[in-house]
Amino acid sequence: MYFVYILKCKDGSLYTGITTDVRRRFAEHSAGTGGRYTHSRKVVKILYTEKSKDRSTALKREARIKKMARVDKLYLIKTWKGI
């Protein structure tokens, strides 16, 4: 099972990614080993997670979310019901 997730960074920006373990991935981002973007901006919290049946589906959903305007991402987060 894969998850698409959105993290809030210290500077207020949003980071979207995929993983098989959201908590582990958040810990990696928090430690500065999760990626270049989050290393420089420091993650604050997990705002959104969404289950995907496989990696391909998760990657496609991640790409769609990354193309969304910030206001649309915030609406997605606001209306999220949780895992």
Asked whether residue 66 is assigned to any structural domain, the reply reads yes
Main-chain phi, psi angles of 15, to 5 degrees:
-120, 130
The reported pLDDT for the residue numbered 30 is 93
Asked whether residue 32 is assigned to any structural domain, the reply reads yes
The reported pLDDT for the residue numbered 80 is 83
pTM, rounded to two decimals: 0.93
Kindly state the average pLDDT of the residues 6-11: 96
Q: What is the CATH number of the domain that holds 26?
A: 3.40.1440.10
Domain of 13 in residue numbering reads as 2-78
Contact 67, 59 (CB under 8 A): no
CA 39 to chain centre: 14
Asked whether residue 22 is assigned to any structural domain, the reply reads yes
| pLDDT band for position 83 (cuts 50, 70, 90) | low
Question: What's the structural domain count of the chain?
Answer: 1
Kindly state the average pLDDT of the residues 61-78: 96
Answer yes or no: is pLDDT of 81 > 80.
no
Asked whether residue 63 is assigned to any structural domain, the reply reads yes
pLDDT digits (tens, 9 = 90+) for 9-24: 999 999 999 999 999 9
